Each structure stands twice: as C-alpha cells, then as structure tokens.
Amino acid sequence: MALSDGSRAFVERRGAARGVGEDPFRFLGANTYYCMVYAAHEGLRPHVEEIFEQMQRLGMAVLRTWAFNAGAQQWMSLQRAPGVYDEQVLLGRDHVVAMASRHGVRLVLTLVNHWE
C-alpha cells in the first residue's frame, strides 16, 4: 500500500540514523499498544480511528502498536492456543493497517512481548 505521499519504501537503518530511499527519515510518533484489539471490537473501533485522525493533525508519522495478543485468558486474544487464531482480531489488525495507510502513518508492528 502506498502512503498518502505515494511512498512505498520501507524505513531503513543507516548507522544511528534512519532513511527512506535517499532521504533521511525523522519523525514524531506514538506508542499505542491496544489498537488491534480495539479495532476488533465494533464499539471501540471509533477510538482507533480517532487516534489516526489526531496523529495526522499533529503531523505524527509513526505508530508502534501490538500485532499480537496471546492466551486463552486474554480479552480479544489473537491466538487463544498454539495455531488457533481469532478471525475477528485478525480483521482488527487489518483495519489498523488500512487506517495507517489512509492517514499516511507508518507502523511498527510488535509481534511478541517479554511476558510468559
């Protein structure tokens, strides 16, 4: 998917700096872990849309968010057991990716955490 500026390139590390194509990449961003699970819940989805609208208004270019949630006891768990995934939560993750693209925000999708 192209961002609003038409860019499809990934951000790459260049020593201690970052770049996109030939250009340096400096950004203001946010860390909002709950976007996927909120987007998977119809009643909470507007909160996710508001996050992206506010980020766009503030000129924020990057959002770090969870792309996982595992465990049978977790609310809106993506992976309830090894190899058992919740389609509704996967669709929530898809919605987050689509919203990011629509608002010109790049994503850092966290796939795991340090918990057991």
Which one is predicted more confidently, 74 or 9? 74
Is the pLDDT score of 38 beyond 80? Answer: yes
**Distance set, CA 4 to CA 9, 24, 33, 67 (Å):** 12, 18, 23, 22
Provide the whole-model pTM: 0.85
Is the pLDDT score of 2 beyond 50? Answer: no
Beta bridge partners of 101: none
pLDDT per residue over 43-72, tens digit each?
999 999 999 999 999 999 999 999 999 888
Q: What average pLDDT score do residues 88-115 get? A: 93
- Provide the pLDDT for residue 1: 39
Q: What percent of the chain has pLDDT over 90?
A: 73
CA-wise closest residue to 91 among 76, 71, 106, 104: 76
